[in-house]
Structure 1
């Protein structure tokens, strides 16, 4: 059976380090030469924005400071996510992997199947839409509208994911919220009026879900991660071996924090 590397961070990390580690694993894939599945959490509430978003147009910098939130720009696309009380996953895998369908949409579908099986181990049934209509009057929040093959519970989005492809290697990472973030998130998004903010936040809460809303009884982050690991093992028919980052991955991650993710130039470049 094929063996993949499993990285589970034992301590929550700063947003800059989380993004730097993901990029280091992606960049140095050939040093490991096996797919890597990683699960991690965040040391403090952090807003992440997609690579192509205009930060100052969409995010209220003063509100961020008042709420003591961090801000980080992802190397992947997509829209705004508030990372707080959540499980985050990332997977680094070559585009030509024998068990991964070619094409962006089909690879999303395959990875969503892994998460879907993981949710079943938590006694949660999910679905997805293979064709997603363009929504009007949506906000810049990621969970406002599902993308193709993103998972839904009773029509509400439960996982937000984004992907990057470079040098023949895919990085996909995604957010699985445990608690409702709507108030904190919408407090830092920009709107033309207070009334619009309230209206769009109320609408958002009909579109986004979170684990505490749907899970049966108490569930720990360890149980959630274990369930998703089983999902990846089952769908890809692989064995996950728990390991640590390579020294060269750690070194590159620290450099990326110092020179990229921890800098104003990167995060506010648009």
Structure 2
């Protein structure tokens, strides 16, 4: 069995192993750890292999990491990876996880859509990946109207000031993933979705899958001069503030799929945001932050680039890493999405399902 795990912001860990049946259950055999990381002393790599050999095949990553740490000689230096990363790579090997480069990725970057239609497209395209009818897809959004997008489990009245929303000519929609509210203005927001097979994140914890699926965008940001990192559970942050938030939803199907979508602040009208979002006021007060501009630091200031240039560089970075061909929403997918936008995401019943 073969497993790989790219440490977010770090190096690649590769594990090859066998699983053998024993009296007490299946165990790991012939474990061989490799990668482009740095390790001193050299012989510590053999200590890692020996520590994992004989471990229960169903051991969680944390237990495997503890075995590795206990076996390392005093003074061992691990650079670019951790014992936990080794444990995750083992879990991915046993789970037969796939790698980014195992797939032919498709890009969808089309005309602006209404907020409700964007919600529907996320559900439809990810369901198509789960059914095996669509390849893994990166979709860059173009917003057709300003909106507040609330998480699947958020209370509408607690999150949104409906009077202010109406005054600013905005609508509110509810997405299928959890997480917090997003304040959307078309020219100030960059949003993307990844619709990926479940196999890509096998062996990863729910929390680890967030950082894993966005490691590529950290590299893209670095190429634009922005040093960013993943801040658990679901933020992309820099030294000067948060620039993005992520959310996920798992969908069942013949293959299973994960929807992972991210909204990034290219620019922001902080006063309008705080006027519309009730929870925004509480979050700022809770963290002792007087200004929203200190909490959310837009990409426009950090990169000095036009919004379309930032998007192009993100797409190019993804393509350079994993390959990416131009694609589009099929007529059948769009018909289903329009139906969902009208019947579900545009309905009061769905939007106010948590009043």
Displacement after TM superposition at 1:201 (Å)? 7.3
2:343 to 237, 259, 262: 259
Residues 250 and 149 from structure 1, CA distance in 2 versus in 1: closer, same or farther, beyond 3 angstroms?
A: closer
SS in 2 for 1:185: helix
| C-alpha distance after superposition, 1:93-112 (max 9, x if no partner) | 01112x76522222211122
SS in 2 for 1:159: strand
Q: Which has the higher contact order (CA 8 A, sep 6+)?
A: 1
Matches of residues 45-194 of structure 1 in structure 2 within 5 Å? Answer: 45-84=146-185, 85-97=188-200, 102-129=204-231, 147-148=232-233, 150-167=235-252, 168-190=256-278
Partner in structure 2 of residue 218 of structure 1: 305
Which runs of no fewer than 5 residues in structure 2 stay unpaired? 1-100
Residues 120 and 162 from structure 1, CA distance in 2 versus in 1: closer, same or farther, beyond 3 angstroms?
A: same
Give the strand-richer structure, 1 or 2. 2
1:20 aligns with 2:123: no
TM-score, normalised via structure 2 length: 0.64
TM-score, normalised via structure 1 length: 0.82
**Greater Rg, structure 1 or structure 2?**
2
Displacement after TM superposition at 1:58 (Å)? 2.4
CA RMSD of aligned residues (A): 2.4
CA distance in 2: counterparts of 1:21 and 1:33, whole angstroms = 13
Displacement after TM superposition at 1:55 (Å)? 0.3
Number of corresponding residues: 244
1:241 aligns with 2:304: no
CA distance in 1: counterparts of 2:289 and 2:147, whole angstroms = 19
Counterpart contact for 2:141–2:190, Cα < 8 Å: yes
Residues 69 and 34 from structure 1, CA distance in 2 versus in 1: closer, same or farther, beyond 3 angstroms?
A: same
SS in 1 for 2:324: strand
